[in-house]
Amino acid sequence: MIRWLMPFVLLAVAGCTEAEPLPKVQRPPLGEVQPVAPGFRPPPSLPQIVLEPSLPGLRRLVYLSNGYLEAAHGLLLVPRNQAQPEKLLTLAKQLVERAFAARESLGVVDVSLYRAEDYAGFGGPLPLFTASVPRSRLGEFLRLPPEALTAYDHLWLNPGEPRPPLRRPSRLAERLPAFEGSPEELQEQQKLQTEQQRRGPLPASGLYYHGPPGSNKVALTFDDAVHPLFAPLLLDALRRAGVKATFFLIGRNAEAYPYFVRDLVQEGHELANHTYHHVRLVGLPEEVVRDELLRTNQLIERLTGQSVRFFRPPGGRYDAQVLRVARGLGLVTAFWTDDPGDFNNPGSEVIISRTLRFLRRGGIVLLHDNAQETLPVLGELASRARARGLLLTTLSDQAGW
Protein backbone atom coordinates (compact mmCIF):
# COMPACT_ATOMS: atom_id res chain seq x y z
CA MET A 1 0.00 0.00 0.00
CA ILE A 2 2.73 2.46 0.97
CA ARG A 3 4.76 1.73 -2.14
CA TRP A 4 2.03 2.67 -4.59
CA LEU A 5 1.35 5.82 -2.63
CA MET A 6 5.05 6.70 -2.79
CA PRO A 7 6.47 6.91 -6.29
CA PHE A 8 10.03 7.30 -5.12
CA VAL A 9 12.27 5.38 -2.77
CA LEU A 10 15.33 7.11 -1.33
CA LEU A 11 18.55 5.18 -0.79
CA ALA A 12 21.62 6.32 1.12
CA VAL A 13 24.58 5.72 -1.16
CA ALA A 14 28.14 6.90 -0.44
CA GLY A 15 26.88 9.51 2.01
CA CYS A 16 24.36 11.08 -0.36
CA THR A 17 20.69 10.54 -1.08
CA GLU A 18 19.61 9.00 -4.38
CA ALA A 19 16.22 7.99 -5.67
CA GLU A 20 14.96 5.06 -7.65
CA PRO A 21 13.58 5.89 -11.11
CA LEU A 22 10.12 7.35 -11.17
CA PRO A 23 7.46 4.67 -11.75
CA LYS A 24 5.86 5.26 -15.11
CA VAL A 25 2.41 6.68 -15.60
CA GLN A 26 -0.04 3.81 -15.94
CA ARG A 27 -3.54 3.26 -17.22
CA PRO A 28 -6.19 3.12 -14.48
CA PRO A 29 -7.07 -0.49 -13.63
CA LEU A 30 -10.25 -1.84 -15.16
CA GLY A 31 -13.18 -2.19 -12.78
CA GLU A 32 -11.45 -0.18 -10.08
CA VAL A 33 -13.58 0.79 -7.11
CA GLN A 34 -12.71 4.23 -5.76
CA PRO A 35 -12.85 4.72 -1.99
CA VAL A 36 -15.19 7.39 -0.71
CA ALA A 37 -13.35 10.57 0.22
CA PRO A 38 -11.62 11.33 2.46
CA GLY A 39 -10.27 7.82 2.17
CA PHE A 40 -10.59 4.39 3.70
CA ARG A 41 -10.35 5.57 7.31
CA PRO A 42 -12.51 8.25 8.90
CA PRO A 43 -10.68 11.27 10.31
CA PRO A 44 -10.50 11.80 14.08
CA SER A 45 -13.71 13.33 15.38
CA LEU A 46 -13.53 17.08 15.78
CA PRO A 47 -14.45 18.35 19.25
CA GLN A 48 -17.76 20.19 19.46
CA ILE A 49 -18.68 23.44 21.20
CA VAL A 50 -22.09 23.11 22.83
CA LEU A 51 -24.12 26.30 23.15
CA GLU A 52 -26.68 26.52 25.95
CA PRO A 53 -29.35 27.23 24.93
CA SER A 54 -28.70 26.00 21.41
CA LEU A 55 -28.94 28.35 18.45
CA PRO A 56 -31.82 27.32 16.14
CA GLY A 57 -30.53 25.80 12.92
CA LEU A 58 -27.00 25.16 14.22
CA ARG A 59 -25.84 22.02 12.41
CA ARG A 60 -22.42 21.86 14.04
CA LEU A 61 -19.86 24.03 15.81
CA VAL A 62 -16.44 22.36 15.84
CA TYR A 63 -12.96 23.53 16.70
CA LEU A 64 -9.36 22.53 16.07
CA SER A 65 -5.88 23.74 17.00
CA ASN A 66 -2.56 23.63 15.16
CA GLY A 67 -0.69 23.86 18.45
CA TYR A 68 -0.61 27.65 18.41
CA LEU A 69 -3.91 28.90 17.00
CA GLU A 70 -7.35 27.50 17.79
CA ALA A 71 -10.13 27.98 15.24
CA ALA A 72 -13.82 27.11 15.19
CA HIS A 73 -16.28 26.68 12.34
CA GLY A 74 -20.02 26.95 12.75
CA LEU A 75 -22.48 25.70 10.13
CA LEU A 76 -25.94 27.21 10.44
CA LEU A 77 -29.02 26.29 8.38
CA VAL A 78 -31.33 29.24 7.81
CA PRO A 79 -35.02 29.03 6.79
CA ARG A 80 -35.94 30.67 3.52
CA ASN A 81 -37.88 33.42 5.30
CA GLN A 82 -34.75 34.50 7.21
CA ALA A 83 -32.39 34.65 4.25
CA GLN A 84 -32.32 38.45 3.96
CA PRO A 85 -28.82 39.98 4.36
CA GLU A 86 -29.67 41.82 7.57
CA LYS A 87 -31.06 38.66 9.19
CA LEU A 88 -28.09 36.60 8.03
CA LEU A 89 -25.73 39.14 9.57
CA THR A 90 -27.65 39.06 12.85
CA LEU A 91 -27.50 35.27 12.99
CA ALA A 92 -23.79 35.27 12.15
CA LYS A 93 -23.10 37.79 14.92
CA GLN A 94 -24.98 35.67 17.44
CA LEU A 95 -23.10 32.53 16.45
CA VAL A 96 -19.66 34.20 16.49
CA GLU A 97 -20.21 36.01 19.80
CA ARG A 98 -21.57 32.95 21.56
CA ALA A 99 -18.77 30.73 20.24
CA PHE A 100 -16.10 33.07 21.62
CA ALA A 101 -17.96 33.29 24.93
CA ALA A 102 -18.23 29.51 25.19
CA ARG A 103 -14.52 28.89 24.59
CA GLU A 104 -12.00 31.50 25.71
CA SER A 105 -9.05 29.83 23.94
CA LEU A 106 -10.49 30.40 20.46
CA GLY A 107 -8.46 32.69 18.24
CA VAL A 108 -10.83 32.81 15.25
CA VAL A 109 -14.40 31.78 14.49
CA ASP A 110 -15.53 31.06 10.92
CA VAL A 111 -19.19 30.73 9.99
CA SER A 112 -21.09 29.35 6.99
CA LEU A 113 -24.82 30.01 6.68
CA TYR A 114 -26.78 27.85 4.22
CA ARG A 115 -30.43 27.93 3.25
CA ALA A 116 -31.97 25.01 5.10
CA GLU A 117 -34.20 23.88 2.22
CA ASP A 118 -31.20 23.56 -0.16
CA TYR A 119 -28.34 22.35 2.02
CA ALA A 120 -26.65 19.31 0.48
CA GLY A 121 -23.16 19.39 1.97
CA PHE A 122 -20.03 19.55 -0.15
CA GLY A 123 -20.90 19.90 -3.81
CA GLY A 124 -24.39 21.25 -3.12
CA PRO A 125 -25.57 24.85 -3.50
CA LEU A 126 -23.16 27.47 -2.19
CA PRO A 127 -23.77 29.05 1.22
CA LEU A 128 -25.75 32.26 1.60
CA PHE A 129 -23.22 33.97 3.84
CA THR A 130 -19.71 33.27 5.16
CA ALA A 131 -17.36 35.18 7.45
CA SER A 132 -14.10 34.75 9.36
CA VAL A 133 -13.73 36.67 12.63
CA PRO A 134 -10.50 36.75 14.67
CA ARG A 135 -11.03 37.50 18.35
CA SER A 136 -9.17 40.79 17.88
CA ARG A 137 -11.85 41.92 15.38
CA LEU A 138 -14.91 40.69 17.27
CA GLY A 139 -16.01 44.18 18.30
CA GLU A 140 -15.64 45.44 14.74
CA PHE A 141 -17.75 42.57 13.43
CA LEU A 142 -20.48 43.01 16.04
CA ARG A 143 -20.77 46.72 15.20
CA LEU A 144 -21.01 46.08 11.45
CA PRO A 145 -24.27 47.52 10.03
CA PRO A 146 -26.21 45.59 7.36
CA GLU A 147 -25.83 48.41 4.85
CA ALA A 148 -22.02 48.25 5.05
CA LEU A 149 -21.24 44.55 4.72
CA THR A 150 -18.40 45.22 2.28
CA ALA A 151 -16.61 47.20 5.00
CA TYR A 152 -15.64 43.90 6.60
CA ASP A 153 -13.06 42.26 4.34
CA HIS A 154 -13.51 38.69 5.60
CA LEU A 155 -17.21 38.38 4.77
CA TRP A 156 -18.96 36.99 1.68
CA LEU A 157 -22.62 37.41 0.79
CA ASN A 158 -23.90 35.19 -1.99
CA PRO A 159 -24.90 37.65 -4.75
CA GLY A 160 -27.44 35.31 -6.34
CA GLU A 161 -30.03 32.67 -5.66
CA PRO A 162 -28.37 29.43 -4.48
CA ARG A 163 -28.45 26.96 -7.32
CA PRO A 164 -27.73 23.24 -7.45
CA PRO A 165 -24.28 22.33 -8.80
CA LEU A 166 -23.93 21.71 -12.51
CA ARG A 167 -21.92 18.59 -11.71
CA ARG A 168 -21.48 16.54 -8.60
CA PRO A 169 -18.02 16.42 -6.98
CA SER A 170 -15.90 13.40 -7.68
CA ARG A 171 -14.93 11.07 -4.86
CA LEU A 172 -11.45 10.19 -6.04
CA ALA A 173 -8.62 9.18 -3.76
CA GLU A 174 -5.29 10.65 -4.82
CA ARG A 175 -2.79 8.10 -6.10
CA LEU A 176 -0.28 7.75 -8.91
CA PRO A 177 -1.19 9.81 -12.00
CA ALA A 178 -3.17 7.70 -14.46
CA PHE A 179 -3.43 8.42 -18.18
CA GLU A 180 -6.39 7.16 -20.17
CA GLY A 181 -5.55 6.82 -23.86
CA SER A 182 -4.08 4.65 -26.57
CA PRO A 183 -0.88 2.60 -26.02
CA GLU A 184 0.98 5.07 -28.24
CA GLU A 185 -0.28 8.07 -26.23
CA LEU A 186 0.59 6.36 -22.96
CA GLN A 187 4.08 5.61 -24.22
CA GLU A 188 4.57 9.28 -25.08
CA GLN A 189 3.50 10.31 -21.57
CA GLN A 190 5.95 7.84 -20.05
CA LYS A 191 8.71 9.20 -22.27
CA LEU A 192 8.03 12.78 -21.17
CA GLN A 193 7.89 11.69 -17.54
CA THR A 194 11.26 9.93 -17.74
CA GLU A 195 12.81 12.89 -19.51
CA GLN A 196 11.63 15.27 -16.79
CA GLN A 197 13.05 13.05 -14.11
CA ARG A 198 16.45 13.31 -15.76
CA ARG A 199 16.43 16.94 -16.94
CA GLY A 200 13.49 18.72 -15.34
CA PRO A 201 10.33 20.22 -16.89
CA LEU A 202 10.00 22.52 -19.87
CA PRO A 203 7.09 24.99 -20.08
CA ALA A 204 6.43 24.07 -23.70
CA SER A 205 5.56 20.47 -22.75
CA GLY A 206 2.51 21.61 -20.78
CA LEU A 207 3.32 18.92 -18.19
CA TYR A 208 5.04 19.05 -14.81
CA TYR A 209 5.90 15.60 -13.46
CA HIS A 210 9.11 16.49 -11.65
CA GLY A 211 11.07 19.60 -10.76
CA PRO A 212 14.67 20.23 -11.77
CA PRO A 213 16.50 17.16 -10.40
CA GLY A 214 19.60 19.16 -9.49
CA SER A 215 17.65 21.72 -7.48
CA ASN A 216 17.49 21.69 -3.71
CA LYS A 217 13.89 22.92 -3.92
CA VAL A 218 10.94 20.65 -3.14
CA ALA A 219 7.51 21.90 -4.19
CA LEU A 220 4.93 21.72 -1.40
CA THR A 221 1.39 21.51 -2.79
CA PHE A 222 -2.06 21.34 -1.20
CA ASP A 223 -5.15 20.08 -3.02
CA ASP A 224 -8.83 20.91 -2.42
CA ALA A 225 -8.37 24.41 -0.96
CA VAL A 226 -9.91 26.42 0.63
CA HIS A 227 -11.67 25.10 3.74
CA PRO A 228 -13.33 27.39 6.33
CA LEU A 229 -11.99 25.58 9.40
CA PHE A 230 -8.55 24.61 8.15
CA ALA A 231 -7.54 27.67 6.12
CA PRO A 232 -6.58 29.94 9.07
CA LEU A 233 -4.85 27.08 10.87
CA LEU A 234 -2.87 26.05 7.80
CA LEU A 235 -1.87 29.62 6.99
CA ASP A 236 -0.66 30.10 10.56
CA ALA A 237 1.28 26.82 10.55
CA LEU A 238 3.04 27.60 7.25
CA ARG A 239 3.86 31.11 8.44
CA ARG A 240 5.48 29.73 11.59
CA ALA A 241 7.38 27.15 9.52
CA GLY A 242 8.62 29.84 7.12
CA VAL A 243 7.30 27.90 4.11
CA LYS A 244 5.49 28.91 0.92
CA ALA A 245 3.31 26.44 -0.97
CA THR A 246 1.15 26.02 -4.07
CA PHE A 247 -2.57 25.64 -3.35
CA PHE A 248 -4.77 23.89 -5.92
CA LEU A 249 -8.14 25.57 -5.43
CA ILE A 250 -11.57 24.06 -6.00
CA GLY A 251 -13.46 26.91 -7.63
CA ARG A 252 -16.67 26.56 -5.64
CA ASN A 253 -14.70 26.69 -2.39
CA ALA A 254 -12.81 29.77 -3.53
CA GLU A 255 -16.06 31.47 -4.49
CA ALA A 256 -17.63 30.94 -1.06
CA TYR A 257 -14.51 31.92 0.93
CA PRO A 258 -12.80 34.57 -1.22
CA TYR A 259 -11.11 36.23 1.75
CA PHE A 260 -9.05 33.10 2.42
CA VAL A 261 -7.97 33.09 -1.23
CA ARG A 262 -6.73 36.66 -0.84
CA ASP A 263 -5.03 35.72 2.44
CA LEU A 264 -3.07 33.01 0.61
CA VAL A 265 -1.77 35.54 -1.89
CA GLN A 266 -0.96 38.06 0.82
CA GLU A 267 1.13 35.41 2.59
CA GLY A 268 3.11 34.74 -0.61
CA HIS A 269 1.59 31.40 -1.57
CA GLU A 270 0.82 30.36 -5.14
CA LEU A 271 -2.71 29.65 -6.42
CA ALA A 272 -3.47 26.92 -8.94
CA ASN A 273 -6.50 25.30 -10.59
CA HIS A 274 -8.19 22.09 -9.33
CA THR A 275 -11.42 22.48 -11.38
CA TYR A 276 -14.58 24.25 -10.20
CA HIS A 277 -16.59 21.24 -8.97
CA HIS A 278 -13.75 18.75 -8.28
CA VAL A 279 -14.98 16.38 -10.97
CA ARG A 280 -13.23 13.61 -12.82
CA LEU A 281 -12.60 15.18 -16.21
CA VAL A 282 -11.90 12.12 -18.34
CA GLY A 283 -14.96 11.25 -20.39
CA LEU A 284 -16.65 14.64 -20.08
CA PRO A 285 -17.43 16.67 -23.22
CA GLU A 286 -14.64 19.02 -24.20
CA GLU A 287 -16.77 22.11 -23.53
CA VAL A 288 -17.47 20.89 -19.99
CA VAL A 289 -13.75 20.33 -19.31
CA ARG A 290 -13.02 23.82 -20.61
CA ASP A 291 -15.76 25.34 -18.45
CA GLU A 292 -14.41 23.63 -15.31
CA LEU A 293 -10.94 25.07 -15.89
CA LEU A 294 -11.85 28.44 -17.38
CA ARG A 295 -14.40 29.22 -14.68
CA THR A 296 -11.83 28.58 -11.95
CA ASN A 297 -9.13 30.57 -13.76
CA GLN A 298 -11.43 33.55 -14.15
CA LEU A 299 -12.54 33.38 -10.52
CA ILE A 300 -8.98 33.35 -9.18
CA GLU A 301 -7.95 36.19 -11.48
CA ARG A 302 -10.99 38.24 -10.44
CA LEU A 303 -10.30 37.71 -6.73
CA THR A 304 -6.56 38.30 -6.80
CA GLY A 305 -5.60 39.99 -10.07
CA GLN A 306 -3.15 37.16 -10.71
CA SER A 307 -3.14 34.75 -13.61
CA VAL A 308 -3.03 31.00 -13.01
CA ARG A 309 -0.11 28.87 -14.23
CA PHE A 310 -0.69 25.33 -12.92
CA PHE A 311 -3.60 22.87 -13.02
CA ARG A 312 -3.99 19.47 -11.37
CA PRO A 313 -6.78 17.08 -12.41
CA PRO A 314 -8.73 15.55 -9.50
CA GLY A 315 -7.44 12.09 -8.72
CA GLY A 316 -4.57 12.58 -11.19
CA ARG A 317 -6.81 11.22 -13.96
CA TYR A 318 -6.22 12.75 -17.39
CA ASP A 319 -6.22 12.06 -21.10
CA ALA A 320 -5.17 13.81 -24.30
CA GLN A 321 -8.30 15.98 -24.31
CA VAL A 322 -7.71 17.21 -20.76
CA LEU A 323 -4.12 18.11 -21.64
CA ARG A 324 -5.18 19.83 -24.84
CA VAL A 325 -7.82 21.96 -23.10
CA ALA A 326 -5.48 22.88 -20.25
CA ARG A 327 -2.68 23.81 -22.64
CA GLY A 328 -5.12 25.89 -24.71
CA LEU A 329 -5.92 27.90 -21.57
CA GLY A 330 -2.22 28.46 -20.87
CA LEU A 331 -2.12 25.96 -18.01
CA VAL A 332 0.66 23.52 -17.15
CA THR A 333 -0.73 20.22 -15.83
CA ALA A 334 1.16 19.36 -12.64
CA PHE A 335 1.36 16.04 -10.80
CA TRP A 336 3.46 14.87 -7.83
CA THR A 337 6.33 12.62 -6.84
CA ASP A 338 5.48 12.15 -3.17
CA ASP A 339 2.02 11.32 -1.79
CA PRO A 340 1.97 10.33 1.90
CA GLY A 341 -1.78 9.65 1.66
CA ASP A 342 -2.86 12.24 4.23
CA PHE A 343 -6.37 12.17 2.71
CA ASN A 344 -6.67 8.66 4.12
CA ASN A 345 -6.05 9.73 7.74
CA PRO A 346 -3.19 7.30 8.52
CA GLY A 347 -2.02 9.31 11.53
CA SER A 348 0.42 12.21 11.87
CA GLU A 349 3.40 9.96 12.61
CA VAL A 350 2.78 7.96 9.44
CA ILE A 351 2.38 11.11 7.34
CA ILE A 352 5.68 12.62 8.49
CA SER A 353 7.62 9.33 8.23
CA ARG A 354 6.34 8.64 4.71
CA THR A 355 7.03 12.19 3.52
CA LEU A 356 10.52 12.35 5.00
CA ARG A 357 11.38 8.91 3.67
CA PHE A 358 10.62 9.89 0.10
CA LEU A 359 11.63 13.54 0.12
CA ARG A 360 13.91 14.28 -2.86
CA ARG A 361 15.56 17.04 -4.88
CA GLY A 362 13.12 18.42 -7.42
CA GLY A 363 10.30 16.50 -5.77
CA ILE A 364 6.66 17.52 -5.49
CA VAL A 365 4.82 16.73 -2.24
CA LEU A 366 1.05 16.27 -2.40
CA LEU A 367 -0.92 17.15 0.73
CA HIS A 368 -4.51 18.29 1.35
CA ASP A 369 -5.57 21.52 3.00
CA ASN A 370 -8.37 19.82 4.98
CA ALA A 371 -6.35 16.89 6.33
CA GLN A 372 -6.54 17.17 10.10
CA GLU A 373 -3.50 14.99 10.77
CA THR A 374 -1.23 17.03 8.48
CA LEU A 375 -1.33 20.20 10.57
CA PRO A 376 0.92 18.95 13.41
CA VAL A 377 3.72 17.79 11.08
CA LEU A 378 4.33 20.88 8.92
CA GLY A 379 6.84 22.50 11.25
CA GLU A 380 8.81 19.28 11.63
CA LEU A 381 8.68 18.64 7.89
CA ALA A 382 10.13 22.07 7.15
CA SER A 383 12.92 21.78 9.72
CA ARG A 384 13.88 18.25 8.72
CA ALA A 385 13.93 19.28 5.05
CA ARG A 386 16.26 22.19 5.84
CA ALA A 387 18.52 19.83 7.77
CA ARG A 388 18.91 17.84 4.54
CA GLY A 389 19.67 20.97 2.55
CA LEU A 390 16.20 21.02 0.96
CA LEU A 391 13.85 23.99 0.73
CA LEU A 392 10.07 23.63 0.64
CA THR A 393 8.61 26.14 -1.81
CA THR A 394 6.07 26.75 -4.59
CA LEU A 395 5.99 25.05 -7.97
CA SER A 396 6.85 28.28 -9.78
CA ASP A 397 9.81 28.96 -7.51
CA GLN A 398 11.03 25.40 -7.94
CA ALA A 399 10.72 25.58 -11.72
CA GLY A 400 12.33 29.03 -11.94
CA TRP A 401 9.79 30.09 -14.57
How many beta carbons lie within 10 A of that of residue 82, not counting itself?
Answer: 17
pLDDT in tens, 373-388: 999 999 999 999 999 9
Looking at the whole model, is its pTM more than 0.85?
Answer: yes
Between the two ends of the chain, the Cα-to-Cα distance in Å is 35
The reply to whether 134 and 282 lie within a common domain is no
Catalytic residue among 210, 368, 369, 397: 368
pLDDT band for 40, please (50, 70, 90 cuts). low
306 and 281 in contact (C-beta within 8 Å)?
no
153 and 195 assigned to the same domain = no
| Residues contacting 34, CB < 8 A, separation 6+ | 171, 172, 173, 315
**Based on the domain organization, do 269 and 367 belong to the same domain?**
yes
* Whether pLDDT at 238 is above 50: yes
Q: Is residue 26 classed as helix, strand or coil in its secondary structure?
A: strand
* DSSP structure class, residue 169: P
Is 319 one of the annotated active-site residues of the chain? no
pLDDT of amino acid 6:
34
The answer to whether residue 277 is catalytic is no
Catalytic residue chosen out of the listed positions 110, 223, 224, 319:
223
Residues 83 and 107 in one domain: yes
Summarised one tens digit per residue, pLDDT across range 135-191 is 999 999 999 999 999 999 999 999 987 776 767 666 555 467 889 999 999 999 999
Structural domain contains residue 284: yes
135 and 176, same domain (yes or no) = no
**Number of domains, the chain:** 2
Distances (CA, A) of 139 to 71, 97, 133: 18, 9, 10
Residue 228, CB-side half-sphere exposure with 13 Å CA sphere = 26
CA distance 249 to 264: 11
Q: Which amino acid is at 233?
A: L
pLDDT at position 64 over 60: yes
Q: Which of 130, 157, 184 is the last residue before a domain boundary?
A: 157
Shared domain for 132 and 180, answered yes or no, is: no
**Three-state secondary structure of 296-359:** HHHHHHHHHCCCCCEECCHHHEECHHHHHHHHHCCCEEECCCECCCHHHCCCHHHHHHHHHHHC
Same domain? For 232 and 187 the reply is yes
- State the CATH number of the domain containing residue 212: 3.20.20.370
Range of the domain at 137: 58-157
- Beta strands per DSSP E along 30-183: 58-65, 70-78, 108-115, 129-134, 155-157, 178-179
Mark whether 393 and 341 lie in a shared domain. Answer: yes
Three-state secondary structure string covering 77-102: EECHHHCCHHHHHHHHHHHHHHHHHH
Do 153 and 220 belong together in one domain? no
Q: Stretch 193-217: mean pLDDT, rounded?
A: 93
Residues 359, 380, single domain; the answer is: yes
Q: Give the span between the Cα atoms of 138 and 104, in whole angstroms.
A: 13
Dihedral, CA atoms, 1, 207, 281, 309, nearest 10 degrees? 120
**In-domain check, residue 221:** yes
* 3-class secondary-structure state, position 265: helix
Bridge partner residues of 186 (DSSP): none
- Indicate if 200 and 337 belong to the same structural domain: yes
Average pLDDT over residues 38-48: 78
325 compared with 6, residue with greater pLDDT: 325
Among left, alpha and beta (phi > 0; psi -120 to 50; other), residue 26 is beta
Spatial separation of the C-alpha atoms in residues 43 and 243, rounded to whole Å? 25
**Same domain, yes or no: 138 and 68:** yes
pLDDT tops 90 at residue 123: no
Pick the last residue of a domain from 135, 157, 179: 157
What distance in Å separates the CA atoms of residue 354 and residue 327, rounded to the nearest whole number?
33
